[in-house]
Amino acid sequence: MVQPYPVGPVDRVDPNEKMLFLSAIRTTMFAMASTPEDRDLPSSHADSILRDAFGLRKWRPHQREAVGAVLAGRDVVVTLPTGHGKSLVYQLPAVALDGLMLVVSPLIALMEDQVGALRARGFRAACLNSLQESSQRRETLAAALRGEYDLLYVTPERFRSPAFRGSLDDLGVVRLAVDEAHCISAWGHDFRPDYSRLGAYREALGDPPTIALTATATARVTREIVESLRLRDPLIVRAGIERPNLFFAVRTIESRDERLDHLADRLGSIDGPGIVYTSLIRDLEEFHVELARRGIETLVYHGKLSTSERQAMQDRFMTSERSIVLATNAFGMGVDKADIRFVIHAQIPRTLEAWTQEIGRAGRDGRPSFCELLYFEEDLAIQQTFVDWANPSIEYMMLVYETLRGWGERVQTKDLDDLRAELLVKNRHDNRVSICLRWLEVLEVTAGSFEGHDLRVVRELNPDEFPEWAGSGEKRDHDLRALLEMLRFAKERERCRRQLLADHFDLDAAPDACGRCDVCASTDEFVATSFERRQAPSSLRASERSNEASPSHCLPDVEFERGDWVEVGKGLRGQIVRVERTGRSVRLIIQDATSLEECSIDPRRRRVRRLPRSS
């Protein structure tokens, strides 16, 4: 009889003891099966593993059905709300079965967190990714080939590695798990080209039974997942994509100033950690400064920060009980924080799927949590531009290819900015070039990277190699229709928001009145009765509150005009040639009196003094 798993503090349990325990579970479970054909582990055995190996006393909705199908060798597609235990659907079978569970995951940080948590509980898990030293990758792959792991996590890009592809036959993969499976769909909200080739990679593995998992998938996306992965008669598990403890609200905003005022009021009314999403880094930075002026401190997370800075921001948020993070949509996947009390979208996202996935990060502890979208009509233009950039034409993609080929060996002295300049890309947010480069990688037309200074064109490209939908008007029109669905959701004032979501995702209809959205209940009453108000910081030192120590938190005490002579700090003197205003944000374009060069100054971040005209 297997003794109960020691589920106390992990640092008190000897790792070797845990490994022996998990091995004993597998041996005992299979010994209880009368024949090899019976070794699909009856549900009672799965219950034992749930309790003894994972320390859990009961299944969450749909988990047991999905796990049973995986153990029986059936293909499975699982759509469960964020935080509802999708990972268990493949992790438990990995413990129960002899052989390797190969897990495809899109984010390195996410897989490393999962592997760390699994190893802390004694599971034989590892990952392969591009951030590891080559020697570490070789050692991990060799250990996997020796059968030392039950779970091996990889990104889809790993299949491009000749060393990894050459090892597929010998890895002993008995199940394949594809996390964030909506990334497979070209019609989904987060398509990634490498995911589109997983069906071929699955075939190279010998077509093992496969588990595809996602938190957001419409019926169309689900069908594409099945077709792309070449699944056979899969069990489709599709649960609701929201949770009853979340309150949904939409607020229509008429101006940028009103948005900032409302955001400050809302953040002040809810204590606890939360996320505010924006579409543009420029607006995120403006919110950070303006909220600070009102006594609301925030963290920031966006693509301009270095990797170490982003990690530091995420670590601070994860360990805080009250922090607010202002973030672009790069933040959130893999953030497993149970007590997030609110998720606010300060700008409309591109799709309902994206919105649903991001609000799913709130309230994983089951306590009341608040999700609000601020709808400002001008923000639609931002998303329409993003749609255009997300759908470069075949001609544009071929132009990128021809440019790289024309550079020849000089390409290794170039970088992404050089390529953008060559193609006359003026807006730094225009990501068409990056999308094209990704396609060239996936099609194995290029190898290496700009970052590694080893990018090279390794073969010729025929435009017919791109998928039919790539660069097509059909794909762009689909993306615009998805934005229209998001707009309709934002403008709806009569029908329950949960019913709208159920219709969109082809799920069972929600009750007529959910009591947890702004259509069915009072938003202000929910906020007032569910949360404590946020307390203003009271422990700041006087120097931290002073303008001199924290100029970014104060407004300039004078109005500046074109033609004013000013002194910036104690060094720069010059004349204002232009004043740029965006809402309450002001930037001064100053011509240096000595060098005659122009510079841009934010008078809230730098001390600027107007000089007398006679100076």
**In the predicted model, is pLDDT for residue 531 greater than 90?**
yes
pLDDT score recorded for residue 598: 77
From first CA to last CA, the distance across the chain in angstroms is 91
Same domain, 251 and 221: no
- What's the rounded mean pLDDT across residues 6-14? 37
Residue 26 has pLDDT above 60, yes or no: no
Domain CATH for 184: 3.40.50.300
Q: Which two tokens stand for residue 378?
A: 């001008």
When comparing pLDDT for 172 and 604, which is higher? 172
User: pLDDT, tens digit, for every residue of 533-551?
Assistant: 998 654 333 333 333 333 3
Q: Which residues contact 133 (CB under 8 A, 6 or more apart)?
A: none
Distance of alpha carbon 218 from alpha carbon 215, whole angstroms: 10
The predicted pLDDT at position 44 comes to 66
The band of 558, judged by pLDDT with boundaries at 50, 70 and 90, is low
Task: Say whether pLDDT at 39 is over 60.
Answer: no
Per-residue confidence band for 160, with pLDDT thresholds at 50, 70 and 90: confident
Task: Examine residue 276 and state whether it is found in any structural domain, yes or no.
Answer: yes
Q: 584: pLDDT confidence band, cut at 50, 70 and 90? A: low
**Section 423-430 average pLDDT:** 78
pLDDT digits (tens, 9 = 90+) for 315-348: 899 888 899 999 998 787 667 788 999 999 999 9
Three-class SS state of 93:
helix
Range 520-528 average pLDDT: 95
Residue 476 lies in a domain: no
Half-sphere exposure of 297 (CA within 13 A, CB side): 15
Give pLDDT, residue 577.
78
Query: Residues 91-105: what's their mean pLDDT?
Result: 94
- Are both 32 and 152 inside the same structural domain? yes
Residues 113 and 250 in one domain: no
- Shared-domain flag, residues 93 and 188: yes
The token duo for 193 is: 């080209």
Residue 179 per-residue DSSP state: S
- The secondary structure element, H or E, covering residue 463 is none
On whether both 78 and 165 belong to a single domain, the answer is yes
Q: Which of 185, 218, 238 marks a domain boundary?
A: 238
- Using CA atoms, how far apart are residues 197 and 189, in angstroms rounded to an integer? 18
pLDDT value for 132: 87
Does 148 fall in a domain? yes
Q: Name which residue leads in pLDDT, 512 or 610.
A: 610
For the chain, percent of residues with pLDDT exceeding 90: 47
Q: Is the pLDDT of residue 167 over 80?
A: yes
396 in any annotated domain = yes
**286-318 per-position pLDDT tens digit:** 999 999 988 899 999 988 787 778 888 888 998
Query: Is 49 part of a structural domain of the chain?
Result: yes
CA torsion sign for 256, 258, 260, 262 is negative
Co-location of 292 and 373 in the same domain: yes
pTM for the predicted model, two decimal places:
0.73
pLDDT confidence bin for 51, thresholds 50/70/90: confident
Do 158 and 230 fall into the same domain?
A: yes
The pLDDT tens digits for 64-87 are 999 999 999 999 999 987 777 889
Whether the per-residue pLDDT at 571 is higher than 80: the answer is no
Cross-strand pairs, 211: 76, 177
- Residues 6 or more apart in contact with residue 6 via CB below 8 angstroms: 12, 13, 17, 18, 21
Q: What is the mean pLDDT of residues 12-28?
A: 47
What domain range is 466 assigned to?
392-470
353 or 304, which is more confident? Answer: 353
Q: How far apart are CA 537 and CA 539, in angstroms?
A: 6
pLDDT tens figures, 448-469: 888 778 899 999 999 999 888 8
Using the 3D structure, point to which of 238, 259, 289 is the last residue of a domain: 238
Instruction: Say yes or no: 221 and 303 in one domain.
Output: no
253 and 108: one domain? no
Residue 402 CB: number of other CB atoms within 10 A?
Answer: 12
Confidence (pLDDT) at 560:
80
Per-chain mean pLDDT for the chain: 83
Residue 35: what pLDDT? 37
Residue 428 lies in a domain: yes
**Phi-psi category of residue 159: left, alpha or beta, with phi > 0 → left and psi -120 to 50 → alpha:** alpha
The reply to whether 453 and 601 lie within a common domain is no
- Under the banding of pLDDT at 50, 70 and 90, the label for residue 43 is low
Q: What is the number of structural domains in the chain?
A: 4
Of 21-25, 384-388, 595-599, the least confident: 21-25
Backbone torsions φ then ψ of 483, nearest 5 degrees: -65, -40
Q: What is the mean pLDDT of residues 138-150?
A: 95
Report how far apart, in Å, the C-alpha atoms of 564 and of each of 556, 570, 604 are.
Answer: 14, 17, 17
**Separation of alpha carbons 484 and 288, rounded Å:** 29
Highest averaged pLDDT of the listed ranges 88-92, 472-476, 573-577: 88-92
CATH of the domain at 556: 2.30.30
Asked if residue 79 is part of any domain, the answer here is yes
Mean pLDDT of 190-217: 90
Check residues 97 and 597 and name the one with the higher pLDDT: 97
Using pLDDT thresholds of 50, 70 and 90, give the confidence band for residue 106. Answer: confident
Average pLDDT over residues 14-36: 45
- pLDDT digits 0-9 by tens, 496-518: 999 999 888 888 766 778 899 99
Let me know if residue 542 belongs to a domain: no
Q: How confident is the model at residue 145 (pLDDT cuts 50, 70, 90)?
A: very high
Mark whether 72 and 200 lie in a shared domain: yes
CA distance 420 to 155: 27
Q: Are residues 258 and 123 part of one domain?
A: no
Residue 130: pLDDT band by 50, 70, 90 thresholds?
Answer: confident
Bridging pattern class, strands 585-592 and 572-582 = antiparallel
Domain's final residue, options 174, 205, 238: 238
